[in-house]
Amino acid sequence: MSDYLWHMAKLLEGKVALVTGASRGIGRGIANKLAEHGATVCFTYLSSVEKGQELENELKAQGVNAKGFRSDASDMKQAEELITAIAAEFGTIDIVVNNAGITRDNLLMRMSEEQWDEVIRINLKSVFNVTKAVQRPMLKQRSGSIINISSVVGRSGNAGQANYAASKAGMLGFTKSIARELGSRSIRCNAVCPGFIETEMTGELDSKMTDAWVEQIPLKRMGTADDVANLVLFLASDLSAYITGQTINVDGGMQTI
């Protein structure tokens, strides 16, 4: 292996990471990527207990220090208990990826108050909960990287997704504010905006709609969880030591703003 590749493989050696919502999709891809690069990986899930256990077993079988937690990120008390448990077992938390998210799509005319509240609570309040809980250990150690998985829809809006777009746009304001608040303690906070990524979330869409979206993408394909995970790896590592408060798209060129 060249020196360069060896260095790349060790990017997160000695770091402890938490990924919320990693039982499947993008979160799972991120958990695998951080583990591949030497991190101890803690992750959460909510309903997918078997898949959560499967991921923990897979990572451990590869020799990774890993632990899955069943924890609802939208519940403040559970978020606090989660961070306390990780800090107690692993000593620290260096990287947090706020990835857990849902969609409850509907046109505004048909959108229920429950659909609005659920999406704001799970997509946006979760980020507040987990970030607030983790700031104490990060402030103490005077370092950390927080990465919030937003969406291109948070920048552009999307018909039928007013709740989702509002939650994802909210994450961007939160990210920039936290970058300003915690920067003096070397804690960085950045947002990633995936475009159209192949996961169960987008698997619910009909194929005609999918084809029409792909046609709009300059790179002419959907993204993969790995495409997103590569950007998260960069933001988690010291390669991005002077980058904070930023919103970066990983969308095949779908948006150029």
47 binds ligand NAP (CB under 6 A): yes
196 lies in the site for ligand NAP, by CB under 6 A: yes
Q: Specify the stretch interacting with ligand NAP by CB under 6 A; choose among 17-25, 79-87, 104-112, 237-245.
A: 17-25
DSSP per-residue codes, 148-171: EE--THHHH--TTBHHHHHHHHHH
Who's near 174: CB < 8 A, 6+ residues apart? 124, 127, 128, 131, 148
Q: Which of 130, 149, 169, 229 binds ligand NAP (CB under 6 A)?
A: 149
Q: In what helix (H) or strand (E) does residue 139 lie, and over which residues does it extend?
A: helix 126-141
For ligand NAP, the closer CB: 219 or 241: 219
Size of the site for ligand NAP (CB under 6 A): 31
- Using CB under 6 A, which of 32, 40, 48, 145 touches ligand NAP? 48
The CA distances from residue 18 to 97, 167, 171, 191, in Å, are 6, 21, 18, 16
Using the rule CB under 6 A, is 56 a contact of ligand NAP? no
Residue 45 designated active-site: no
Q: Which residues contact 194 (CB under 8 A, 6 or more apart)?
A: 26, 149, 151, 152, 223, 227, 228, 249, 250, 251
Q: Shortest Cβ distance from residue 7 to ligand NAP (Å)?
A: 29
Q: Distance from CA of residue 150 to its chain's centroid? A: 8
Q: What Å distances lie between residue 140 and 41, 63, 93, 239, CA to CA?
A: 20, 29, 11, 22
Sketch the per residue contact string, 75 through 114, with ligand NAP: x for CB under 6 A, - otherwise.
------------------------xxxx------------
Among 76, 139, 201, 217, binds ligand NAP (CB under 6 A): 201
* Catalytic sites, residue numbers: 164
Where does this chain bind ligand NAP (CB under 6 A)? 20-27, 44-48, 72-74, 99-102, 122, 126, 149, 151, 194, 196-197, 199-202
